[in-house]
Amino acid sequence: MDRIILLCLVSSWLSAVHAQKFLISPKWVPRGFKEREERGDGTAMDEIIKANEFHSTRIIDGSTSLREGDIAVSAGRRSKTCFARSCLWSKSVDGHVYIAYNLSPEYSEMEEKVIKKGMETIEKGTCVRFVPRTHQRDYIDIQPKSGCWSYLGARGGRQTVSLQAPDCLRTGVIAHEFMHALGFVHEQSRFDRDNYVTIMWPNIWRDRLRNFEKFKTDSMNLPYDYGSIMHFGMYAYSQDGEPTIIPKNSQNIKLGQALTLSHIDKMKINRLYKCGDKDDY
């Protein structure tokens, strides 16, 4: 009897160890993520991947899925690219693009401040202005749903941006999702990306290969931006801890960033929305 009890205890212990290894396996947290986070060279997209992979089964309902890790796409709706005028937010006669928003009452006062700081990151140096919704028909509804995600461009009416607390409440993550809402895809999705980076397909999780597709988008005659807030990190969706994206011609280039928009990101906004004649707003 004692032997049976001992065997049961050992079996339970081994099962717990196995479960722990599963939870921290590369399928859930990119191998090396913790080390990169401690060194401070992680990216906004690294944080998004970490949050969304943990909550992937609860992120979107049956009619909506995620593309490229954090872009919400509704079934039957064209959402491949968003550089047509039909999916841009309206520009006011004063030259600004006012985006109305509603903020969920579920957020604490401190969390609201972080979200507004993410808005300020977009506003600084661009013609975009976020304003609390009063009567506007088109607006962003910011909710602490599961994971970090946004629809692409203006869809008309209410559209959700999910910023789960606390996982997604980082300035760079918030700015990244608002950039999607403005109409921007990830930088490495550009049609000409193969001239600048090499995608290491064997190193990517097999069920996440589609996150590395490229699309025919308008680069607006701006250079490829390795440091864009919209660029995947070098180890995004790595299944073995090896790089999934490698810059061409130089190993010293850092891909993506964690905190703010790059200068080119701001130029993209101003060019897409035709904010005056100057790139420096």
Active site residue 177: yes
Q: Which of 56, 58, 265 is nearest to 172 (CA)?
A: 265
Q: Rounded to the nearest 5 degrees, what angle is found at the Cα of 70, between the Cα atoms of 122 and 125?
A: 10
Tell me whether the omega of the peptide bond preceding residue 166 falls within 30 degrees of 0, making it cis.
yes
Q: What is the DSSP string of 178-245?
A: HHHHHT---GGGBTTGGGTEEE-GGGB-GGGGGGG--B----TT----TT-TTSPPTTTTBSSSS-SE
Q: How are beta strands 139-143 and 128-132 bridged, if at all?
A: unpaired
Instruction: Please state the three-class secondary structure of 70-138 as a single string.
Output: CEEEECCCCCCCCCCHHHCCCCCCCCCEEEEEEECCCCCHHHHHHHHHHHHHHHCCCCEEEEECCCCCC
User: Which one of 47, 68, 123, 177 is the catalytic residue?
Assistant: 177
Ligand-binding annotation for 55, yes or no, is no
Ligand-binding annotation for 176, yes or no, is yes
Q: Are 186 and 150 in contact (CB under 8 A)?
A: no
- Give the residue numbers of the binding site for Zn(2+): 176, 180, 186
Residues with catalytic function = 177
